[in-house]
Structure 1
Amino acid sequence: MSDTTGIADGLDAILAAHDGVEGALLPILHAVQATFGHIPDEALPRIARHQMISRAEVWGVLTFYHDFRTRPAGRHVLKLCRAESCQAMGAAALADHARARLGIDWHGTTPDGQVTLEPVFCLGLCACGPAAMLDGQVAGRVDPARLDRMIGELA
């Protein structure tokens, strides 16, 4: 079975599970990403037809919410808070360090597929900034040395 056939079959099941559900676009996108690890380009026209909306509307929702991906993520996902309280505590310098250390920019994945770097706009650790989340585990008061240790533990 090819990847395209697998995507089509998986997408058919997801769309069938949401038949007749009002306002199902977000649940469909979440289900597609949970199934495939990202939202494949070939899924957009089929989702649009199912929801009776344009591809542009699906794309608008997909790109508005920062948790949706159009490409597979790395084995590990590092999210750095970009909210104001973390910025006041040095998040910009931490972000610069992370991008330099990993050799990628926001939404990028290291060439070895190990780490994807994503910005987030609050992790709820406002009193402990700057905050980071690595594979769903939050960390507060992250400085460059701690970030290096977190990344180093992934190897």
Structure 2
Amino acid sequence: MTSVYEPWDETRGAEIIAGLTHVEGGTLVMLHALQEAFGYVPEPAIPMIAEARNLSRAEVHGVFTFYHDFRHEPAGKHVLKICRAEACQAAGGDALAARAEAKLGIKIGNTTADQRVTLEPIYCLGLCATAPSAMLDGRIVGRLDEKRIDALVAEAQR
């Protein structure tokens, strides 16, 4: 599964926001909908959400920055998330994260120069019993070892 997003368009963003103004807790719902459509939450969308929700830009920005899953810029074609929670760290996750960084030539939180892979931290996939774990394009993988992380990186680079 690869990520396919629409290019940012202010009119389309306004449509998404307008369609969710009636939803309780709509700020989060709007942020999720924008990221689902565009692959990230474009900066111009923050004041649009603020106006629609009768909030300050700072309040919307605070919600946006509080949650780790929202992106400031488009992700790569593939997104590899490596669990950074304690159970995965205790099971060797730090070494596997470093291995993925070395193979991709980027640090966690970045995208490769060719825009093929975004490497992100995630804080618990709920697979503590099969730690360490990761997620590639929404597919969760547990019981990671060097061979499995290498395979995930290779798959993401295709």
Determine if the TM-score, normalized by the shorter chain, exceeds 0.5: yes
Q: Distance in 1 between matches of 2:24 and 2:86?
A: 36
Conserved 8 A contact 1:131-1:141? yes
Q: Distance in 2 between matches of 1:85 and 1:143?
A: 14
Q: How many residues of Structure 1 are paired with residues of Structure 2 in the alignment?
A: 152
Q: Which residue of 1 aligns with 2:10?
A: 8
Alignment of 1:113-152 (within 5 A): 113-152=115-154
Conserved 8 A contact 1:130-1:141? yes
Conserved 8 A contact 1:130-1:140? yes
Conserved 8 A contact 1:81-1:130? yes
Shift of 1:15: 2.0
TM-score relative to the length of structure 1: 0.90
The answer to whether the aligner puts 1:27 opposite 2:29 as a matched pair is yes
Letter in 2 for 1:12: A
Alignment of 1:90-105 (within 5 A): 90-105=92-107
Consecutive unaligned residues in structure 1, runs of 5 or more: none
Consecutive unaligned residues in structure 2, runs of 5 or more: 1-5
Shift of 1:115: 0.6
Please list the CA deviations of residues 23-76 of structure 1 after superposition, one character each: whole Å capped at 9, or x if unmatched.
Answer: 210111111111111100111111111111111111111111122111100011
Q: Which residue of 1 aligns with 2:56?
A: 54
Identity among equivalent pairs (%): 53
Conserved 8 A contact 1:10-1:35? no
Closer, same or farther: CA 128–21 of 1 in aligned 2, 3 Å: closer
Shift of 1:119: 0.6
Conserved 8 A contact 2:18-2:52? no
Q: Distance in 2 between matches of 1:153 and 1:34?
A: 22
Runs of 4+ more than 6 Å apart: none
TM-score relative to the length of structure 2: 0.89
Letter in 2 for 1:108: N
